[in-house]
Amino acid sequence: MKTLLLVDASSYLYRAFHALPDLRNRHNEPTGAIYGVLNMLRRLHQDYQADYSACVFDAKGKTFRDDLYPDYKANRPPMPSDLAAQIEPLHDSIRAMGWPLLAVEGVEADDVIGTLAQIGARAGMRVVISTGDKDIAQLVNSHISLINTMSNEALDEAGVTTKFGVPPERIVDYLTLIGDSADNVPGVDKVGPKTAVKWLTQYQTLDNLVKHASQISGVVGENLRNALEWLPKARELLTIRCDVPLPLKLEELTAGPQDTARLAGLYERLEFKTWLRELQNSGSNEAPPASSKPPAEVQYECILSEAQLEQWLCRLEQADLVSLDTETTSLDPMQARLVGISFAITPHEAAYLPLAHHYAGAPQQLDFEKTLLRLKPWLESPDNAKVGQNLKYDSHIFANHGIFLRGIVHDTLLQSYIVESHKPHDMDSMASRHLGIKTLPYAEVAGKGAKQIGFEEVDLDTATRYAAEDADITLQLHQHLYPQIQPDSGLEYVYRNIEIPVSKILFHVERNGVLIDSSLLAKQSRALGEKLLTLESGAHALAGQPFNLNSPKQIQEILFGLLGLPVKKKTPGGTPSTDEDVLQQLAEDYPLPKLLLEYRGLAKLKSTYTDKLPRMVNPATGRVHTSYNQAVAVTGRLSSTEPNLQNIPVRSEEGRRIREAFIAPPGSRIISADYSQIELRIMAHLSGDKNLLRAFAAGEDIHRATASEIFACTLLEVTPEQRRYAKVINFGLIYGMSAFGLASQLGIERGAAQAYMDRYFTRYPGVADYMAGTRDMAKQQGYVETVFGRRLWLPDIKGGNGPRRQAAERAAINAPMQGTAADLIKLAMIAVHQWLQENRMKTLLVMQVHDELVLEVPQEELAAVRRELPGLMCNVAALAVPLVAEVGEGANWEQAH
């Protein structure tokens, strides 16, 4: 079936003129309406491959309606000169694009369209009319449909009936009753859409209604009777003519070739730079990249002119949701500077706004500061909804330029994490997994390794393709992922009430940073260095030759080759292990392993902490800013990198001294609060074990309580050794331990370990049931859940070989506990942050270490924080066990414990 596409260009011209900002070229000629109409035609051309088409305008001069009714359109002001001035260049551009253009003197565009539509429909064609005008709905039938290209609303017969309440053939009656104020054609006084639909539903047609006019009661009935004489004329005026003589045949309405040279000249003058570049580039297109499905046609625009910027800003302000992405000079969120911003509002269409590209021959870009200032209100508006891929990063970038991003309602990184925490969440993987799209890899844009260039050096064409795609893909991912979250109340809760709020808080925590006493660490480094030298020469002496104490391979050769010590265990690579466990055992009989242990411990402290941390101090803020990754740990925990502040030593005496270097500025103190036995409490809650619940409710020392059960004695009779055993067992339970693991941990026989476990499960039968139930559940559905509905996937639990499946079973036991603990502390962060904000406090949240929050508290807020913090943390959820948080205070992190 052939298609006829008719464009009611006049209806768009007025709308574009009024809707778009007053865009002008450098000669101060208005261009906004031209831009709007051309943009619409480009979209239309993309969506419809029509066999015949026409772009129809009103022509100058009187029409039959003016003869029929002298007041027709009499209330219209004359066309604004700024609009009149745009008509000729618009017509020229449309013709140059190859569109057949019609403006028939003495005939309105509507009547031209009506006549052509009828001809097309009679010839058996599919007719599509693109219009912004509701009057044309009267033309719709089984062959003819409407599309509003501005709102993307399509109307067929059913659509018209749904939208107006009457079918297309009654639209004229409907319009006659309500009148058309734009054309100065009155209807029946006080009759609007509601009454018109009511009457037409009751009496079917206007003619029938007129016949029964005497039956209509009330004021509107009276008004109807008063209008009876006028209505036929109104009806004639509002009826689109489908039989006007036209000076052409339908067959002539075929698109001609594009006159590229002429079009380029027009775009040049109008300063439509992206379209101009597009014209210049067409013909030298490279082959599209391979992809698993035919790539959708995309429209990526590079914003280089004020006019384009204003046009996009206008769209951004009106959009329900905008996908947003930044391009920067660096991956370090605190140091990176903005290079460009990309936006997407509808799939396959996006814009890149370059602001700081500099390379030889780089085009002039919009002024950096001025443009950011122009965008700032939109970026900072909480009412303009945004989606992005890891917007915490973009928030930092904007913050580096004094802009505070608000209106973050969605984040595809977090969506992916919520839907399938165990899969990769980078955009390239997600685009291929969910959308079947092969994205442009960053390495192809900027190179890789030593040859990698900064994004600011990437040429604008490539940068636009890359950056606009990021925004486009993010939007498409959102449309794909969010529907998988929204219907599930558990996932929706975790996403909306935990992850999204936490990402905003993490932004603040990262920006706050933490103060480090670099000179203290330097002093410790020096001391450690000296000690290491002594240990090293001692080790060389014992070995009888020099070797690198940092090299496990060389240690191996010395210990098991040169000195012939017994091999205790092998590494996965099959070589003799020299790890802590092994050295510990060997140290009982030989001097060198003990020395190596001491060396290893100190070397780790020096290289990872005392040497490294001072180098991580941000010169601008004088503090250390870690990055919290919210989407790596499959259990829902956070992780911390660059530097990792979640593995600062605490167990050894020397290690703890490093925590003395985490300080507060003068006038402030460090407060630390950590949940006590959070995972065991969650185990009690999840299992509902009476005995365990009772012990927590009574506030007993839980390891002591466990010991008294296992060793069948009273709490007071438990020895320190028994309590230590019980503690190992309790931890083992959380980790889904086996008798084998427990045995090696306690250094006892497997049988003895099994006996302890049996005793435990006899005394806590609820725990045994819970563990078995969790394993079964995991096997059945492939995932387990936290108390709040977070899903923890275990891909290996069904398939997988023996060891892998066993590991998955242990993870299944551990995940609900670790994951619920993660949910709880995230809720605590939200509660604490909100409390601080509501009370306008200066206290800063500076670190999160899985079950601990660290705050920097000004002297004057100390009392309030100490008083409120534990309650804020413990009241985030009502579990079957009480939650307990212990709070400490000090000049540094070590003292606060």
Partner DNA sequence: CTGCTAGCATA
Partner DNA sequence: GTATGCTAGCAGA
**Of the residues 127, 140, 815, 832, which one makes contact with DNA according to CB under 7 A:** 815
- Distance separating alpha carbons of residues 48 and 29, to the nearest angstrom: 32
**Beta carbon of residue 305, minimum distance to DNA (angstroms, whole number):** 38
- Distance separating alpha carbons of residues 734 and 850, to the nearest angstrom: 15
Do 521 and 613 touch, CB atoms closer than 8 A?
Answer: yes
**Of the residues 672, 814, 820, 843, which one makes contact with DNA according to CB under 7 A:** 814
Residue 550 engages DNA in binding (rule: CB under 7 A): yes
Query: Which is nearer to DNA, 277 or 606 (by Cβ)?
Result: 606
**Of the residues 53, 274, 578, 843, which one makes contact with DNA according to CB under 7 A:** 578
Query: Which is nearer to DNA, 204 or 548 (by Cβ)?
Result: 548
- Binding range to DNA, per CB under 7 A, among 106-114, 247-255, 728-736, 835-843: 728-736
Please tell me the count of residues contacting DNA according to CB under 7 A.
Answer: 71
Nearest to 267 by CA among 307, 316, 311: 307
Helices and strands in the chain: count of H runs, count of E runs:
37, 23
Three-state SS annotation for 677-694? CHHHHHHHHHHCCHHHHH
Which residue carries 């379209």 as its tokens? 275
Residue 362 engages DNA in binding (rule: CB under 7 A): no
Give bridge partners of residue 300 from the DSSP assignment.
Answer: 350
450 exposed, middle or buried (CB, 10 Å; 0-12, 13-18, 19+)? exposed
**Of the residues 161, 239, 575, 676, which one makes contact with DNA according to CB under 7 A:** 575
Q: C-alpha distances in angstroms, 142 versus 124, 136, 158, 349?
A: 10, 15, 10, 31
459-488 positions binding DNA, by CB under 7 A: none
Say how many C-beta atoms besides its own lie within 10 A of residue 17's C-beta.
20
- Count of positions (residues) in the chain: 897
841-880 positions binding DNA, by CB under 7 A: 849-852
**Beta carbon of residue 419, minimum distance to DNA (angstroms, whole number):** 16
**Beta carbon of residue 393, minimum distance to DNA (angstroms, whole number):** 15
Do 341 and 324 touch, CB atoms closer than 8 A?
Answer: yes
Residue 640 engages DNA in binding (rule: CB under 7 A): yes
Residue 537 engages DNA in binding (rule: CB under 7 A): no
338-357 positions binding DNA, by CB under 7 A: none
- Distance separating alpha carbons of residues 793 and 416, to the nearest angstrom: 13
Query: Which is nearer to DNA, 462 or 745 (by Cβ)?
Result: 745
Query: Which is nearer to DNA, 482 or 711 (by Cβ)?
Result: 711
Query: Which is nearer to DNA, 311 or 706 (by Cβ)?
Result: 706
Residue 703 engages DNA in binding (rule: CB under 7 A): no
- Binding range to DNA, per CB under 7 A, among 60-68, 271-279, 386-394, 595-603: 595-603
Residue 732 engages DNA in binding (rule: CB under 7 A): yes
**Of the residues 252, 367, 579, 758, which one makes contact with DNA according to CB under 7 A:** 579
Query: Which residues, in sequence order, are CB contacts of 357 under 8 Å at separation 6+?
Result: 339, 340, 365, 455, 456, 457, 458, 459, 460, 463
138-177 positions binding DNA, by CB under 7 A: none
741-780 positions binding DNA, by CB under 7 A: 741-742, 744-745
**Of the residues 152, 618, 740, 886, which one makes contact with DNA according to CB under 7 A:** 740
**Of the residues 484, 512, 691, 738, which one makes contact with DNA according to CB under 7 A:** 738
- Distance separating alpha carbons of residues 765 and 691, to the nearest angstrom: 9
Question: What letter represents residue 838's amino acid?
Answer: E
Nearest to 254 by CA among 3, 13, 46: 3
Do 794 and 771 touch, CB atoms closer than 8 A?
Answer: no
Residue 590 engages DNA in binding (rule: CB under 7 A): no
605-634 positions binding DNA, by CB under 7 A: 605, 607-608, 611-612, 629, 632-634
Residue 552 engages DNA in binding (rule: CB under 7 A): yes
Can you say whether the dihedral through the CA atoms of 506, 512, 517, 522 is positive or negative?
positive
Please give the structure tokens belonging to residue 424: 């990769």
429-458 positions binding DNA, by CB under 7 A: 448-450
**Of the residues 635, 668, 677, 892, which one makes contact with DNA according to CB under 7 A:** 635
Question: What letter represents residue 169's amino acid?
Answer: E
**Of the residues 604, 759, 779, 866, which one makes contact with DNA according to CB under 7 A:** 604
Residue 706 engages DNA in binding (rule: CB under 7 A): no
Residue 643 engages DNA in binding (rule: CB under 7 A): yes
Residue 585 engages DNA in binding (rule: CB under 7 A): no
Residue 249 engages DNA in binding (rule: CB under 7 A): no
